[in-house]
Every structure is written in C-alpha cells, then in structure tokens.
Amino acid sequence: MADPLPLNTPGAPGPRHRDAIEQIKQALGDKGWSQDPSVLAPLLVDTRDYYHGKAAILARPETTEQVAEVLKICHEAGIPVTPQGGNTSRVGSATPDESGAQVLLSLARMNRVLEIDPVDYTMTVEAGCVLQDVQNKAAAADRLFPLSLGAEGSCMIGGNIASNAGGINVLRYGNTRDLVLGLEVVTADGQIWNGLRRLRKDNTGYDLKHLFIGSEGTLGVITKAVLKLFPLPKEKATALCALRDLDACLELLTRARAASGDALSSFELLAGITLNFAYRHIDTAKRALGEEYDWQVLLEFSGLEAGDMMNQAMETLLEQAFEDGLVIDAVIAQSEQQRADIWFLREAIVEAQLKEGASIKHDVSVPVSRVPEFIRRSNAALEEMIEGVRPYPFGHVGDGNIHYNVSPPVGASDAEFVAWKERINETVHRITADLEGSISAEHGVGQLKRDELPLYKSALELEMMRKVKQALDPIGLMNPGKVLKDG
C-alpha cells in the first residue's frame, strides 16, 4: 500500500503515477476513459462556477468490477479519486482539485435499472441512473419513487445518495437516506461490499449503508442501490395561497396535514419578492394570483385513490383558513396544466434571481416551529448591515429547510455586493446555529462549507467523523478536500 502522491511537490506526478494511469486505461478499455480536454472541461467545474479543477484522466467504468479495479490501482499507487455522478453538486463535492493528478471517476455508464419488484416495493438500480429515469421507470410499474428536485433531469441516483439529497417531497417521504434499503459499495482499497438487501428490518449490528449515504464520496464509491418504492398517487390537489403573514404558514401547515390525513406531500414557502422576480424575468411564468403578496405557500395533497377526495379536502381547508384570516387569497389547480404552471413558478424563482444579478445563497434548516423566527431575525440583521439589501427566502418549510438567498440593493454592483459574502454567511449561519439548526440542510458540505464545519460541529463530532474516515480510507484517497479539512 503506497503513501499518497506528493501532489504539491514540483514535478509530481512521476513514473509511478503514469504507470497507474496506463493500467487504468487497460482495465477499462478504449470506451472507458478519456483524456480529451474537450470531454473533461465541463466535468471539471461545478454548477455555480466556484470551483475549477484538473484531472489526469476521466475513468468511465461500466461495471462494479471495473470500479473496483480502478480503485485498487489508485490505492496501490496512492492516487486520489474524485467520484462524480451528474456533476450537479451545489457545494463543489464532485470537482477535483487543481493538481491535475486525481482520477475523475464518472458513474455515467452504469445506468441500468436492474430490477423492479412491485410486491416488495423496491427497485434495484446502478448508481449512474438519472433520477428522472428512475422516477419514470417506477411510474411505469405503477409505483412512486418520491425523490424530486430541480436537477432531476441530469443528477444521478448515486450522487443523490452520496449527498443525501432532499427536494420537495421530504415532508411526506423523507430524505434520500429514508428511501434506501441497501447499497453496493466499492471501498477505498477496491473491495466490493454487497449490501444490496431489500429488507425493511435487519437488526444484525451496525447499519453500514448509512455511513456512505451523505458521505459525498469521501468513504467509498456507491455502485448500486435498492430503493424504496411507494404506491403511485392517483389524485393530486395543488394550490397557491397568499398568507396573512409569515406566522400563518405554521398554522396552515398543521391544518393541511390534518385535513389531508397526512397526505400533504409538499409545502413550499415563497416570499413575495421571489414571485415578483419570476414574473419580471421569466416570460413563461404565469401570474397565478391577481395581486402581489408578501408571503405565499404552494401546497399539494397526493391521494392514493382516483376521484375528488383530495380536491375536496383542499377546498375545505382553504375555505376555513380564509374564514379564519390565515389565507387572504388562493387558487386551486383545476387541470394538470394549471398544476404544472403553479409548479413552474417554484422552479422559475431560482432562474429569476440569477437574472437579477449576483446573489448569496444559503441552504439551512431549523426546527419547523422556528422558521418564521429565523427569517425575521436574518432579514433584520442583514437589513441593518446593508441598506436596501433584498432577502430572498423560499423553500421546504414543511421540513424546516429554507433556501435563504440574498440579492443586492437596487443599483449596487455585483462586485460591491459579493464583497459582503463572508459577513452575510457568518450572520445567517450564526442565527441558524442559535436556533439549533444546520448550515447545510440538503446540499451537503463539499468544499463550500468544509472550513465552516468546525464552527458548528462539536470537537467530539468531528473526532468521530475523522475516525470513520480513517477506518474506511486510511490514506485519504477518496474525494480529498471535501467535508473534512485535511490534517
């Protein structure tokens, strides 16, 4: 077993590295690798254009055995490996460093759905399956795979698992961690762990799969997974509501869960500014309510039987909420097209903020009951710090996850505003921690929040995390520089 290559020394990598790269080429065959700069270029930058890296080779294995061979070669030669799925990470988890020595390991060719068992309500897939394809395959079998997020047309299930992705249905179905029954993983030294179990109950010791879920590729490479499926909803009721005030969202959330028999699948809070930006910048965004409001909620009930039960429940909920003053305006989708138009607004607010100029983004969570307090405190702190700043909060209030984005004052230059980034992040994250929250709700840590982690994790937590890392990746070759600081 070799020590890691001295990546920062002049002249590295040397002959040992070159020999290992040649072995990888031979192991994968002509279609399994590339060193073409035009092929690698889009894979060496993250989605936010924060991080740019280099790689000695792009490895594109087609089987678990090929993944294992690549990791064995890298382990023996001391070559670091950056695993990559759809390259949709929001925190730089899938971008290699700038040394040019790392192997970029893409799972894109491992994209088969291996089995759907409608009786067990399970689906076994390879890690390179695109999330939307997994959803569609499940639906074709009259089943639901509920993980749903903005990048579902390009993100891959292995990356979803490695980052413990969230999305719009966590309120009802849970995070990705709750949707995985079993995993197959290649360890840092190239061994294959077959944990592809379909069991709902298995109490035979440590549940090892949970070490790899959310590990961001720092402990091993997920190659296959057994996913949980659910009954496919036969009726959906979708509404957009204007709230009396921010606090009304909590009461409406409680009532919605009760009114639907806990069939509430989504509950998305939208600050008025977010929809105003969408209507201003996105031509295809259709105004759903006639007036502008400070706070709106997009909510959806999903019923398992065809009919009108969910729509009736939605109508009853909103009528009572209107009478009680919680809701001051609302629209219920009357067709699938109207439902799609309402959901498009939720997606449009992300693009619309980009068109407005620079923004500073946060992916935080707090206890659901403290969401209004978090928003008010953060708004007040930033408005005191920067005159005219425009907070842009939205997100999955049903599970306490708010994407607390911030836009600059009107007329401010992007450069002026970005100069405030560190102070804004510190302020928002301090308030989050004070409310017993997390600075990363669903995007992970990656490179973006790695250096902040020690400020919000106890010394004991970090020590235990390092011990896990040391046990599974003793020479530190798996996705180095992500999650935990080196050393």
Note whether residue 474 is domain-resident: no
Q: Are residues 122 and 208 in the same domain?
A: yes
Are 392 and 427 part of one and the same domain?
A: yes
- Tell me the residue type at 173: Y
Query: What is the pLDDT, as a whole number, of residue 1?
Result: 47
What tokens does 141 get? Answer: 């079998």
Report the pLDDT value the prediction gives residue 487, as an integer from 0 to 100.
Answer: 52
Q: Measured between alpha carbons, how far apart are the two ends of the chain, in Å?
A: 20
CATH number of the domain bearing residue 190: 3.30.465.10
Question: Is the domain of 317 the same as that of 377?
Answer: yes
130 lies in the same domain as 19: no
Residue 72, domain extent: 15-107
**How far is the C-alpha of 170 from the C-alpha of 147, rounded, in Å?**
8
Residues 361 and 279 placed together within one structural domain of the fold: yes
Q: Cα(222)–Cα(129) distance, rounded to whole angstroms?
A: 12
Together in a domain, 252 and 172: no
What pLDDT, on a 0 to 100 scale, did the predictor assign at position 8? 36
Chain centre distance of CA 203 = 29
The residues facing 59 across adjacent strands are 33, 105
Number of domains making up the chain: 3
The residues near 278 (Cβ < 8 Å, ≥ 6 apart) are: 285, 345, 348, 349, 352
Do 399 and 315 fall into the same domain?
yes
Domain end, chosen from 189, 215, 231, is at: 231
Beta sheet of 33-34, edge-to-edge order: 33-34, 57-59, 103-106, 81-84
Pairing of strands 103-106, 57-59: parallel
- 226 in any annotated domain: yes
| 384, part of any domain | yes
Separation CA 278–CA 349 (nearest Å): 5
- The verdict on residue 52 lying in a domain is yes
Q: Are residues 331 and 374 in the same domain?
A: yes
CA distance 95 to 105: 11
Q: How many CA atoms lie within 13 A of 139 on its CB side?
A: 10
Per-residue pLDDT for the chain (487 aa), expressed as one digit of tens each? Answer: 455 544 433 335 688 999 999 999 999 999 999 999 999 999 999 999 999 999 999 999 999 999 999 999 999 999 999 999 999 999 999 999 999 999 999 999 999 999 999 999 999 999 999 999 999 999 999 999 999 999 999 999 999 999 999 999 999 999 999 999 999 999 999 999 999 999 999 999 999 999 999 999 999 999 999 999 999 999 999 999 999 999 999 999 999 999 999 999 999 999 999 999 999 999 999 999 989 999 999 999 999 999 999 999 999 999 999 999 999 999 999 999 999 999 999 999 999 999 999 999 999 999 999 999 999 999 999 999 999 999 999 999 999 999 999 999 999 999 999 999 999 999 999 999 999 999 999 999 999 999 999 999 999 999 999 999 999 999 999 999 999 987 5
Q: Is the peptide bond before 42 cis (omega within 30 degrees of 0)?
A: no
In a domain, 42, yes or no: yes
Residue 340 sits in the same domain as residue 357: yes
Omega of the bond prior to 233 within 30 degrees of 0, cis?
A: no
Helices (H) then strands (E): counts for the chain = 16, 18
Cα of 4 vs its chain's centroid, Å: 30
Domain end residue (candidates: 79, 107, 135): 107
E runs forming strands in 401-469: 401-407
Q: Is residue 247 part of a domain?
A: yes
Residues 224 and 277 in one domain: no
Q: Specify whether 306 is located in the same domain as 395.
A: yes
**Letter string b/e over residues 7-36, b meaning 16 or more CB atoms within 10 A of that residue's CB:** beeeeebeeebeebbebbbebbeeebbbee
Q: What is the CATH number of the domain that holds 390?
A: 3.30.70.2190
Q: Is-contact 20 70, C-beta < 8 A?
A: no
- Cβ-contact 484, 450 below 8 angstroms: yes
Asked, for residue 377, whether it belongs to a domain, the answer is yes
173 and 249 in one domain? no
Q: Is residue 475 part of a domain?
A: no
Dist. CA 394–CA 144, nearest whole Å:
26
- Cα–Cα nearest to 472, from 216, 211, 213: 211
Instruction: Examine the fold and report which residue of 107, 125, 158 is the final residue of a domain before the chain moves on.
Output: 107
Give the CATH number of the domain where residue 55 resides.
Answer: 3.30.43.10
